[in-house]
Homo-oligomer: A and B are copies of this chain.
Amino acid sequence: MKMAETGTPAKDQTGREPKTARGEATRRAILGAAEKVIGRQGFNEASIGSITREAGVAQGTFYIYFSSKDEVFSELVAEMGRMLRHVISEATGGMADRLEAEREGLRAFLTFVASHPELYRIVQEAQFVDPDAYRAYFRTFAEGYRQGLAEAAEAGAIRPGDADVRAWALMGIARALGEYSVVFGDTTPIDEVVDIAHDLIVDGLRKRS
């Protein structure tokens, strides 16, 4: 399974880095406000004004640290990717059993998403606002996943099969279940969802004879 080439994006000149503690604090305040406001209202409804109001600074201050609305957004997406990868690797790091890692990774993902619903929204919207960031986000995930599956298959820990497609399929399960709870407001306890899905992932649909 091969990927079509995607140009590596040339980043715009970023708003300059703060040089003092005060500046650093302001920058973080804006970033936090952006997460909150964009997560709540969506990228297009969230105006720079609403973000800076939330952050308690003047509108012009925004442009000291970010060169555009798009730029904060991209930064947000990148940050979320880091956070999520961190959470998942914490949960599965060093697990010998691949199938168990699968279960714990799913649980960690769903737990994180449930407590950061805005995050979910922001990443989804990135598809339209900053396609490059969106693709980078999932590519990074998929690649890690693929490696894990490929090694497990090689080691004979799971059935053989194309690791690439499998990685995307399994990610699809996680995303769909995350959406199920965040967007559709399902209230089934996470642990139950994890068990049901894990059973499907591990044994599939086929009836054993």
Contacts and interface: CB of A to CB of B under 8 A. Distances in A.
Contact of A175 (B166, B172, B205): B172
Interface in A175-209: 175-177, 179-180, 183-188, 192-193, 196-197, 199-208
A184 B171 CA distance: 14
A165 B188 contact: yes
A120 B10 CA distance: 27
Contacts of A200: 161, 165-166, 169, 204
Interface residues of A, number: 60
Interface stretch (A26-34, A73-81, A83-91, A121-129): A121-129
The binding surface of chain A is classed by DSSP as helix
Interface in A144-164: 156-159, 161-162
Contacts of A2: 186-188
B186 A1 contact: yes
A191 to B, nearest CB: 12
A4 B196 contact: no
Tallying the copies of this chain within the complex gives 4
A196 to B, nearest CB: 4
B196 A165 contact: yes
Given A2-B188, A172-B176, A165 B193 contact: yes
A118 interface: no
28 contacts: A1-B186, A2-B188, A3-B186, A4-B186, A99-B206, A102-B205, A121-B128, A125-B128, A127-B183, A131-B183, A138-B184, A157-B207, A158-B205, A159-B204, A159-B206, A161-B199, A165-B188, A166-B200, A168-B177, A169-B197, A169-B201, A172-B172, A172-B173, A172-B174, A173-B176, A175-B175, A175-B176, A203-B206
Task: Give me the 7 closest cross-chain CB pairs, A-B, nearest first.
Answer: A172-B176, A4-B185, A204-B204, A172-B172, A203-B204, A1-B188, A165-B196
